[in-house]
Structure 1
Amino acid sequence: MRIRSRLLLLLIATAAVPTLAVGLLAWRDAERALSEAVAEQHRRTALAEAEHAATHVLSLATELGGALLHQEPLALGPSEAQELLTRVFLRRDRIAQVGLFNAEGQLTASVFVDDPEAFARQEPQFRRHDTVAAREVEDFQRRAAEQLAQVPEDRGWAVSAPYLTTVRRRPAVVVAARAPGARAGGLAAELGLEALSQRLGERRAGHERVFLLDGAGRLLLNGELEHERRQEDFSGKLPGAPGAKQTGLAEYEEDGRAWLAAFSPVPELGWVAVVARPREAALAPLHALARSTFGVLGLTLVGVLALAPVLARALARPIARLADGARELARGHLSHRLSLKRRDELGDLARAFNDMGYALEQAHRELLGFNEQLASQVEERTRELQQTQVQLSRSQRLAAMGDLAAGMAHEMNNPLAAVLGNVQLMLMELPQDDPSRRMLSIVHQQAQRIASIVRELQLLSERQQLGRLPLDLHRVLNRVLESRGGELSQAGVQVDCRFHPGEVKVLGDTQALGDVFGRLLANALNAMKDRPERSLTVATHVVSEQLVRVELRDTGRGIAREHLERIFNPFFTTKQQWTGKGLSLAVCHRVIEEHGGTITLHSDEGVGTTVTLVLPAAPAQGALL
């Protein structure tokens, strides 16, 4: 037998036989591992969908119970009841209608959309709610009354069985919560399940199906509205799923196809989440493995038959590969490596070539990293320089305006004092019924307003001699909030104080900082007028041993982006009515700058405004005022 034939037989014995053995072993192990993986994946998916469905429904029950925690339905007036129901109704998009019931189960107030355009003019969020027909309102009242009568004493809420709405033919449930007390009434809402259905439709991947069954085993949700309306019965196909208490596996047939399914109960609702996939699709990776195994075996045999004639060129090919590798490095492909595994001189040359390529690639990577670091540092320094230039330009503008204001105030004070004095004397001399007294009173009021503007200009222009002593920041903020407590309560503003734990001491002047916080609070109150949500958050943070940050965040009208650069300019205002002088923020900027701190403002129009002050912290041994 020729050497070429012997080499061919040796290659077949050493390559084809091990490949076939490995393929058979891999088939057996893959079949077992794939079955376990598919079952576990289906269990987890079904459990996740069950938990999500329970959370979607029961979270509404929690919200309704929380809304009634401090509210007695029978004690609410018509406007208060309507406001409570509107808040609940707008909190979620999928609530079709909500109602307030008395202890006898009679509806006392309700909110639903029957005229989308009229409701949208009142509140844009109503556009995200379905239009409800009169028959559906009656059906909801009946179902809600039944659920309120069935609320357990130990839980405080109940959820109805899923049903299709009478006109829209969409799946929904009624969630009812009873207020504490024997005759306190309750709150109920109709929750549409379209969001759950849409999620199930989005979770379908390939041949996989994800759906929900009700307590009787009928199809509840699967992402297809037509199928949901037919309410297909799965109790015969999946006998163990309805009423299941834990996850399980099952198989069923549909349209001549075998399906592998996993199911999981939905907590507290009695529903069942099911994940199913056709058997052939579930075992498709195994079939692909078989095809690849036999394909590899065939390629191996073909490779062996093709390899024998080229063995004669075994010495020439490594040299050619070395030449190709050198050309790749010359083209700039520094990651190119030779996979020549030899133990002779050619192997040593290939390893030396790879070491050289690795060294070149490492040096190139370090050079690129250094360039990126240098560019980042340049960008950071440029940004810092720009911020410094902006601060310097603002300070220069304020200083120039301050000089101008000082001159104006000095020149206006004397004639203004003369005007005020003469007008007061004339008012004192004129009788009460004199017709000209009203005109003089108007002159006196406008002169006093000019005097107030002059005092503001003096505050902007004069450098105050601040004590810069250690003081308790929280005490200053509390004093300002207490002084404005009446205005906050009257305006319906909810204040949320998020102070840093413990005392926070800063270096500053108590009166000056109190005036700054008072001005900022007044601006926030003005911005929240006629807003549906009125909340003010005051937070303090210890940035480091040298700096303390104060944030005042409101839910007011906000400021347009094009006005933010001018917001600290004197006489610039964004108020809808000219009730102020446009000097408050300029004065605040001057005072904070004299304290050695900074003040910045971030605002989103229609969302709110956040004012951030950074002040120097007092040393640990500083005396507390």
Structure 2
Amino acid sequence: MRFAAKIGLLLLAVGVLPVALLGIASYKVSRDELQRTVGRMQEQSAEDLALFSERFVSGALENLRLSTSAVLPLDVYSHSELRNILGLQYRQLPFLSILAIVDDDKAPVAGPIFVAVPRSPADAVRPEDPRLAGRVQVTDDALDSFARRLPAPPAEVGRLELSKPYRGADGVPRLAVAVRLEPNRTLAAEIVLTDVATRVAELTRKGAGVAYLVDGRGELLAHGEPDGRIAGEEKALPEVGFARTGALSRLVHRADGRRWLAAFAPVKTYGWGAVVAQPMNVAFAATENLGAYTVTIAGLAILLALSVGSLLARRVSRPVQRLSSAAAAIAAGDYGTPVEARGRDEIAELGRAFGRMTAEIRRRDEEIRGWNRELQARVEERTAELKAAQDQILRTRRLAALGSLGAGIAHELNNPMTAITGYLAIVRKQLGPASPQGELIANAQEQAARVARVIEDLRSFADQERSALGQRFSLVRPVRAALDLYEDRLRAAGIAVCARFEEPLPDAQGDVVQLQQVVAHLVENAINAMPRGGTLEVSLGSIDGDALRLRVADTGKGIPSGLRERIFDPFFTTKDQAGRVGLGLSVSHSIVEAHRGKILVESEEGAGAAVTVLLPAATAAHLA
């Protein structure tokens, strides 16, 4: 092999290969991270669409239910009066396309009220009915379809039944609703999800994204594209999403053959699903550019290596050979090999530069090794802390469960066993010690005494678990851990965090995991109170060194004065989102009380809320 080829290969190995490998690694890491980041953004968009759909349908059903009070009782109105009342309701509820009162055989009693498709200009909506302008017009086929899909009248007055969602001729999803008014009288209505279809269309950007809704069977309900359809891997996405009951994102092939990054989120209340997708070339444009840059730079590096190799082969064969030997030694990890650099020409200068480069590489290699050791030590330290925290959580849960089980069993068995031992004593006394059954009764009393001792042991275990004092720790740790946990959500919600921690602070006494749970509940409530962003202030200080004060304040909508007394009640919530059970502040209150502390709430409606947690310091916890 010619020397030029050898020099070229050496330069390729030393200069180009690391660049190529680094570029490939950077491309892969960037692509994976970008997929996770964009995937989370897509999941958030899908969750927003699912939440919007759920709120719209729930709000429409609630408004429809409330409007039924206007027609009750039915027997006080004539047929024409009922029709007029239905017409008034129809005008006040813009999401309705059909409204009627039917009997149990679904025969119309009053109505139906709807805007018919005009057969001539004279049939068009009159200008004096502006509330009907833009309403969905109903054809005879649409009216027949509604009648077929109308659910059976509910059995109980006030109950509501929904049909499965279906699409109209215009592609907008609809729901047939039956609300029992009185015996043999039911309010029948068709709800048109126009706002939902509009929201889906808004999320569909030409060439850059698509959104659609599916029902529980994966059938299409609404699509942002007029001729939109789902096929192939897209159909499997709702199946996996419904099975997981949570948002997910993955790469799928759409009907056009291209790969898209799609996210699915369930509409939990109604068993539907929302999907938001984006072409892979749009989602990963940054990484594709990085790949192109890497290929370009690698190609330039190859050309440069070949040119330099040819020049060096012609002019500096021996010095290069020495430098090559030195480079091989350095590649093997031997930084002590000397590099000869005699003379004052460029080759000698190159040799001296090579020596300086060797020293710099050695220094950086030692720094990297030191950083690796430090990083490994930190990872091991954090892993040990995480394992200890997990062990503490598992132990707390196991002991709490066993304590509750022991207390329950002791409570349930104590009274029956007391009665059993009493009855045995009475029977033994009545029969006398010399009776043939005396020995059997004595054995029964002995076994009952054993059961009583077991019950007492269980009660003692439960009392001991309740009296555990926990451990000493810095309250800064659970506060920071809770803020780190919600860092992404706070940033996504546009909430600025202002954290202030006084130094030094006395230690707290108790369960660090439970107190982190308290802070997490407070931060979660603050995020829900600021849907359009705001400021979250978290401050931690001491009171004369005997107590700790944690204050979490937001600039959200605040708490109405009439509801402040109930915020700590279990299952009470002021949140609009469906699925919120209202246990956060109740659980937090119980944890703070168990740590001999207090939790205080300050709020003005429309001016935010501030929650203050007071805890005794570890030195004073035994006095609290």
- TM normalised by structure 1 equals 0.39
| Larger-gyration structure (1/2) | 1
